[in-house]
Amino acid sequence: MANVSINGVTKRFGEVTVFEDIDLEIGDNQFVSILGPSGCGKTTLLRIVAGLEKTSAGVVRVGGEEITGPRPDMTLVFQNFRLLPWRTVEDNVAYGVRLRGASKREARRQAQPYIEMVGLKGREKKYPYQLSGGMQQRVGLARALAIRPDILLMDEPFGALDAQTRELMQDELLRIWSADRKTVIFVTHSIDEAVVLSDRVIVMQSDPGRIVEDIEIPFDRPRDAAQIRTEPEFAALRTHMWRLLRKAPSVATPAGGVPGD
C-alpha cells in the first residue's frame, strides 16, 4: 500500500520552528497538492516524507511502516531537472534503473516505455542541451517513473517553466497520472495548478507552518484542464484558497500563485 500517514510532525532548525504538529493522511493513489507561501515548510515536509530530513517530533509512515531514510518505492522530482548533461535522453531516463543493478541494455529497455509516455520518442539520442526546458522536465519525469515508484514526490516541478509550457506540462501530467496512477504529493505555489491537478489541496500558512484547510477538489477524472478553468466552481475554489493565503504574512502577489522558493 502507498498510503502516507504524517502524525504530529514538527521540524525545527535550531531555535526556529519551521512547522509544528502536522497531521495528514494521504490515501493510496491519491494526488495531493501542498499549497502555501514561502517559509511555511512545504519543501521541508516533502523532504521528510522522502526520508531526506529527520523530524524534530512526530512520525511519518508509508503503508504503516515508519520512514527512517530514503526508500526504493519513492522518488523525488525537482524543479531544476537535475539531468546529467553528458548523457542522452535514454541514458538519463535509464539512470535510476542502472543504479538498481540493471545492465545498460536492460535499463534502456525499461526506460523506453516511459520515454514514449512523456512524448519524447525519436529523441532518445539527444542531449539535454538540445532540448527545451519543457522537454528536459519530461525527461526528469520519465526518469522518476522508470524506477516504478509507488509514491511520486514533486517539488515545484514546473516552477522554472514559462506560463505556456507550464500549462502544457500540467496537461501532460494529468494524462500520465490517469494512465499510471500513483500516490503523488505535489508542492506548488500556484493555486490554479493545485486545483487543476489534485484530488485534494492542503493549504498551509507560516510562522510557524501549519495546515489551515484540507480541500477536496470536486472535478471528475479524467480531466480537461482547459475546461476546468472555465467552470464557476474553479473560480470559487481559486478565490477561497487565495483568501486563505492572503492571511499568511509573506504573501504579496495577486491570485494565481504566491511568491517565494
pLDDT tens, the chain, 261 aa long: 689 999 999 999 998 999 999 999 999 999 999 999 888 999 999 999 999 999 999 999 998 999 999 988 899 888 776 889 999 999 999 998 998 888 999 999 999 999 998 889 999 999 999 998 888 988 988 998 898 889 999 998 888 788 888 888 888 888 888 888 889 999 998 999 999 999 999 999 988 899 999 999 999 988 888 899 999 999 999 999 999 988 755 443 334 443 334
Contact 217, 33 (CB under 8 A): no
Phi, psi of 75 (to 5 degrees): -140, 150
- pLDDT at position 164 is 85
> What does the pLDDT read at residue 248?
56
DSSP per residue over 77-144, as a string? E-TT----TTS-HHHHHTHHHHHTT--HHHHHHHHHHHHHHTT-TT-TT--GGGS-HHHHHHHHHHHH
254's CB contacts (< 8 A; 6+ apart) are none
What are the structural domain ranges in the chain? 1-73+161-261, 80-148
Q: What is the pLDDT of residue 249?
A: 54
Can you give the pLDDT at residue 261?
41
Single-letter code of the amino acid located at 249: P
**C-alpha cell belonging to residue 21:** 504538529
Check residue 209 and report its DSSP letter: B
pLDDT of residue 179: 83
Domain range 1-73+161-261, CATH architecture = 3-Layer(aba) Sandwich (3.40)
Residue written as grid cell 484558497: 241
